[in-house]
């Protein structure tokens, strides 16, 4: 995995592009959800912001926590 994805040669993208790509994915862990996967990321970040307004790093972690799922769009199992 590290040799294949470590050099970032498959595709380079910013965090926002990766969030948008998540919307193309049907999450096997929650296939019946009727809203985009990026919405979950924003909900998580907002929930953390409300609970921990002083921890901006934690807000970011909430936003980015599922970005690894984009690998499923490149053939990796979920």
> If you search the block for the tokens 């934690």, which residue do you land on?
58
Q: Is residue 67 part of a domain?
A: yes
The two tokens of residue 56 are 């901006």
Q: Is residue 1 part of a domain?
A: no
The answer to whether the annotation marks 65 as part of a ligand binding site is yes
The answer to whether the annotation marks 27 as part of a ligand binding site is no
* Domain residue limits at 69: 12-74
Q: How many domains does the chain have?
A: 1
> If you search the block for the tokens 């499923």, which residue do you land on?
72
The answer to whether the annotation marks 66 as part of a ligand binding site is yes
> Going residue by residue through the chain (78 aa), what tens digit of pLDDT does each one get?
788 878 877 778 899 999 999 999 887 877 777 888 899 899 999 999 999 999 999 999 999 998 988 888 888 888
18 contact partners, CB below 8 Å, separation of at least 6: 67, 70
Prediction pTM value: 0.79
Q: Is residue 32 part of a domain?
A: yes
Q: Is residue 3 part of a domain?
A: no
Q: Is residue 5 part of a domain?
A: no
Q: Is residue 39 part of a domain?
A: yes
């Amino acid at each position: 995995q590290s040799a294949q994805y470590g050099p970032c040669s498959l595709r380079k993208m910013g965090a926002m592009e990766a969030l948008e790509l998540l919307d193309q994915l049907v999450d096997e862990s929650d296939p019946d959800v009727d809203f985009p996967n990026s919405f979950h990321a924003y909900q998580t970040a907002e929930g953390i912001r409300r609970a921990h307004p002083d921890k901006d790093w934690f807000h970011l972690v909430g936003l980015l926590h599922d970005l690894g799922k984009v690998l499923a769009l490149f053939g990796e199992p979920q």
